[in-house]
Structure 1
């Protein structure tokens, strides 16, 4: 699971990233919300955790911005604002959950997990004679379950989320390898792995640009 944390409190932001890592949740922490547009153009997330009180923007306005971009990722508000009017505004703008500071870290994890399931449950899709169950993380041809490495699965998940779009190499590297020092050649390796099980022509290559799941 990959989530985005938008929080300008550096102590809290660092603590959240470390805690979530122990819970096997990968978090990208954004302490300057002015970089949000660039982040959303490059990365894809399962949940967005958003503070309302930020240095340069109102969190409420960022909810509207995210939704107007057509991004349906669940948004969890994490804030010290506890008036009902604050909650009402956030939900009307498109937020999915609201947690008041101070909070129990375990509760945050449980809410994140619940939101990530709400996004796409159940999610089964067919590509030719291949049946892919995103939630169960299985790929079948008829009754035969096909094996796939974790890295190839992460790449397939991204292509499914963005199906019909050309996903550029930078986005793939950031999503699958989380900023590790790897190059485009590693993408080709795992594209080959996917092509071995998917129908011919399912993944299109746009030279110098990226890949698209048809």
Structure 2
């Protein structure tokens, strides 16, 4: 699971990142809301944890931006604002959960896991003669199960979540391989693996940019 943490308190941000990683959750932490776009371009997230009181940009504005941009990733608000009016504003803007500071890190972990499971229940896709279940990592093709490597599954997950969009090679490398030093040739290798399973011409190559899973497939 990968979480985007937007928190400008350096001590709190570091401690939350450390705690979540100890519990096998990958965390991308930004302490400046102005870096949100870049973080979204480089990775796909299961949950976004967003503070409201930020130095350069109000968390409410960032939440509004996320939903206007069409990003459906669950957003968990963490904030010292504890008035019902503050909660009402955030839920109306599209927040999925709201946790007031101070809080027990374990409660944050439990809420993140609950939000992630809620989203994954519907991670099912149908592409022509394929039925894809991302949660259980099962592909059924013409009534028979098709096997994919773990890495190919991660790549397919990213392409499905951004279906119809060109996904840059840089984004793919960051999402699938994280900090591992691999190059474009490795990406091409796993694109080739997916093409053997998906319907013909499902994946477009945009030379020098990245790949696109056609929206109409």
| RMSD of aligned alpha carbons | 1.6
Deviation (angstroms), 1:42: 2.8
Uncovered stretches (5+) of structure 1, i.e. residues with no partner: none
- The residue matched to 2:121 in structure 1 has which SS? coil
- The residue matched to 1:196 in structure 2 has which SS? helix
Equivalent position of 1:145 in the other structure: 145
Equivalent position of 2:50 in the other structure: 50
Equivalent position of 2:2 in the other structure: 2
For residues 122 and 136 of structure 1, what CA distance do their matches in structure 2 show?
A: 11
For residues 41 and 122 of structure 2, what CA distance do their matches in structure 1 show?
A: 26
Residue 117 (structure 2) pairs with residue 117 (structure 1): yes
How many residues in Structure 1 have an aligned counterpart in Structure 2? 214
Deviation (angstroms), 1:155: 0.4
For residues 33 and 124 of structure 1, what CA distance do their matches in structure 2 show?
A: 32
Deviation (angstroms), 1:196: 2.2
- The residue matched to 2:197 in structure 1 has which SS? coil
For residues 14 and 146 of structure 1, what CA distance do their matches in structure 2 show?
A: 41
For residues 18 and 143 of structure 2, what CA distance do their matches in structure 1 show?
A: 41
Mapping of residues 35-184 of structure 1, within 5 Å = 35-184=35-184
- The residue matched to 1:67 in structure 2 has which SS? helix
- Kindly provide the CA deviation profile for residues 61-116 of structure 1, in whole angstroms up to 9, marking residues without a partner as x: 11112112221111100112111111111111211100112222222122112212
For residues 69 and 8 of structure 2, what CA distance do their matches in structure 1 show?
A: 23
Uncovered stretches (5+) of structure 2, i.e. residues with no partner: none
- The residue matched to 1:125 in structure 2 has which SS? strand
Contact 1:127/1:202 (8 A) holds in 2: no
TM-score by length of 2: 0.92
